Amino acid sequence: MDFDLKEWISRIKSLKDIPRFIAFEGIEGSGKTTQAKLLGSFLKKCGFNVKVVRDPGFTPLGEKIRKILKSEVNIDSVSELFLFLAARRQLVVDVVRPALRKGIVVITDRFTNSTLAYQGRGRGLMPETLPMLCYIATGGVEPELTFVLDIDPEKGLQRAKKRSESEKSKEDRFEAQDIQFHRRIREFYAELAENSENVFIIDSSQDIYSVFADVVSKLYEFSKEKF
Ligand code: TMP
């Protein structure tokens, strides 16, 4: 892996601007959380004001909802959907919108595309009305750039399992879904990237710093072209 930190900082600093709202998406164990944090500290070094958030979560209400969703309680799939949307609404109103207004770069670990992937493609929930419900939750505040960290579901689930074991926590309701569920989600993300100008697949089977190098170089190319 060859990543010259100083060189990349000066390249990013040379840009007119970068997207202010950036999302990481991917299946379980794809490394989103790590990459979101790495990008956050890198952009701080480039001189930006940055907030790294997670969805569901980050706000007090969102973190409570996250706990409920991660627990084993039997939750109906439509109730599950509304819990995700409620957490996201609170995140947008309390954090994302105010931060974007101040010019802060917001990096989020998941957002609307997770709902379209997991509840839409994974659970097969309301394909026609789902985008509209998501829109009601966000008021149209959506990431300008999305990285999909792509990994084979078998490998991703193995990684997620290792993490759960080291944290001594149980498998959550999504990690416990069958492999087909995770394959459908991976397929959804692949189609999304193919059909969107601002969604990019990053090969997440590489080591952490090679993945990060790909993220930064894609951010640079995208910003140079679009901003
Ligand atoms: P994670 O943030 O640790 O990946 O856990 C969040 C889990 O919730 C993950 O399994 C994906 C799932 N999820 C949905 O099913 N729908 C959503 O809208 C979001 C944001 C997450």
Mean predicted lDDT score pLDDT of the chain: 95
Which residues, judged by CB distance below 6 Å to any ligand atom, belong to the binding site of ligand 1?
28, 54-56, 84, 109-110, 114-115, 118-119, 174
Share of the chain above pLDDT 90, in %: 88
Pick the residue with more confidence: 165 or 7?
Answer: 7
Per-residue pLDDT at 76 exceeds 80 = yes
In 46-178, which residue ranges form alpha helices assigned H by DSSP? 60-70, 77-91, 97-101, 112-115, 130-138, 153-166
Question: Among candidates 201, 18, 218, 23, which has minimal Cα distance to 109?
Answer: 23
Per-residue pLDDT at 46 exceeds 70 = yes
Residue 85 Cα: closest atom of ligand 1: 18
Distance 30 CA to ligand 1 centre (A): 12
Residue 174 Cα: closest atom of ligand 1: 10
Residue 28 Cα: closest atom of ligand 1: 4
Share of the chain above pLDDT 70, in %: 99
**Cα gap 103→44, rounded to integer Å:** 13
Query: pLDDT tens, 153-197?
Result: 999 999 998 888 888 777 788 888 899 999 999 999 999 999 999
Question: Among candidates 117, 110, 119, which has minimal Cα distance to 186?
Answer: 117
Per-residue pLDDT at 28 exceeds 80 = yes
Q: CATH: 3.40.50.980, 3.10.150.10, 3.40.920.10, 3.40.50.300. Which one for 18-226?
A: 3.40.50.300
Query: pLDDT tens, 87-122?
Result: 999 999 999 999 999 999 999 999 999 999 999 999
CB atoms within 10 A of CB 46: 18
Pick the residue with more confidence: 33 or 166?
Answer: 33
The pLDDT, as a whole number, for residue 1 is: 62
Which among 32, 174, 204 is the best mutation to test ligand 1's pocket, defined by most ligand atoms within 8 Å of the CB? 174
